[in-house]
């Protein structure tokens, strides 16, 4: 069983496959064992073929495919369910998340002796995005933080590490990957925040624009706020346990 599973959602990222997988291999050198799960989310280019080519020489790389595109949350969800390690880390498939930041995510979870730390979330500094994208993100994050009280300034960062069992217990919905701090806190987990670097896209084009993000974000915020309010408020004791 690998120590850590790295999950990468990809859609039409042919130009980033080799670059990113090489970056990840270097970052995982300190681990005894790891696996990398590329989730091809209905790509219409050679993304899957590029992954298979690398799989011939790197047995740590696995490929999960969606026949049609389900979106980033669907891809992450499929990748985590396929993962074999108790700790999972994610990063975006566009190369903007440096893989060298991954140890910041898995190490706190490995070192946690309490078993209460469920999520380590990256927060981007010196973002290499357009000014309009940074402004839109800043506004959305401020609104989300005010409504959900999730304690983080940047939930859109793809760099996240978490306990697999905590993730698979979460309710699934499209765009859930943007609300993991709030969802993990809802289920009683502690979360940690770490600053991570950000860089320009290595190749390809962004799959979203600011208007698309804003329209889906409004519905998501209301839905997540409802989920938090309606969370289960009691947990059973072990069988035979008692309250002193």
pLDDT, averaged per 10 consecutive residues of the chain (244 residues), comes to 97 95 96 97 97 97 97 96 98 93 98 96 74 57 61 81 97 89 92 88 59 54 65 68 56
Torsion sign over Cα 32, 48, 102, 6: negative
| DSSP string for residues in 181-203 | HHHHHHTT-EEEEEEE-----SS
pLDDT at residue 138, as a whole number = 63
Residues 6+ apart with CB under 8 A from 197: 98, 100, 101, 124, 125, 126
Torsion sign over Cα 158, 159, 163, 166: negative
Cβ-count burial 134-159 (b if 16+ within 10 Å, e if not): eebbeebbeebbeebebebebbbbbb
The structural domains of the chain, ordered by start, are 4-129+152-205 (3.90.550.10)
Could you tell me if 60 and 36 are in contact, meaning their C-beta atoms sit under 8 angstroms apart?
A: yes
Torsion sign over Cα 74, 76, 80, 83: positive
pTM, 2 dp:
0.81
Q: Please work out, in degrees rounded to the nearest 5, the angle formed at the alpha carbon of residue 62 by the alpha carbons of 66 and 49.
A: 65
d(CA 131, CA 136): 9
Q: Which two tokens stand for residue 227?
A: 């989920």
Residues 6+ apart with CB under 8 A from 64: 37, 38, 39, 40, 78, 79, 82
Number of H-type helices and E-type strands within the chain:
8, 7
pLDDT at residue 205, as a whole number = 62
* 138 DSSP 8-state letter: H
Output the CA–CA distances (angstroms, integers) from residue 64 to 13, 29, 71, 197, in the order listed: 15, 23, 14, 27
pLDDT at residue 221, as a whole number = 66
Could you tell me if 40 and 69 are in contact, meaning their C-beta atoms sit under 8 angstroms apart?
A: no
pLDDT per residue as tens digits for the range 178-212: 889 989 998 999 999 999 997 776 665 665 554 45
């Amino acid at each position: 069983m690998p120590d850590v599973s790295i999950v990468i959602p990809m859609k039409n990222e042919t130009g980033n496959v080799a670059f990113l997988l090489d970056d990840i291999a270097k970052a995982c050198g300190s681990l005894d064992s790891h696996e990398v799960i590329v989730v091809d989310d209905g790509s219409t280019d050679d993304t899957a073929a590029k992954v298979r080519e690398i799989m011939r020489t790197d047995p740590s790389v696995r490929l999960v495919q969606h026949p049609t595109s389900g979106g980033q949350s669907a891809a992450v969800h499929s990748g985590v369910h396929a993962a074999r390690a108790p700790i999972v880390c994610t990063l975006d498939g566009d190369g903007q998340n440096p893989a060298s930041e991954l140890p910041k995510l898995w190490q706190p979870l490995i070192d946690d002796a309490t078993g209460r730390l469920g999520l380590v979330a990256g927060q981007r500094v010196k973002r290499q995005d357009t000014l309009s994208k940074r402004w839109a993100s800043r506004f959305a994050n401020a609104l989300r933080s005010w409504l959900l009280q999730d304690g983080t300034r940047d939930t859109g960062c793809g760099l996240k590490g978490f306990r697999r069992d905590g993730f698979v217990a979460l309710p699934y919905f499209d765009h859930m990957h943007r609300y993991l701090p709030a969802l993990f806190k809802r289920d009683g987990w502690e979360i940690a925040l770490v600053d991570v670097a950000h860089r320009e896209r290595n190749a390809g084009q962004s799959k979203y624009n600011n208007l698309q993000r804003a329209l889906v974000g409004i519905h998501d915020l209301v839905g997540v706020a409802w989920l938090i309010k309606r969370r289960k408020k009691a947990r059973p004791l072990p069988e035979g346990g008692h309250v002193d």
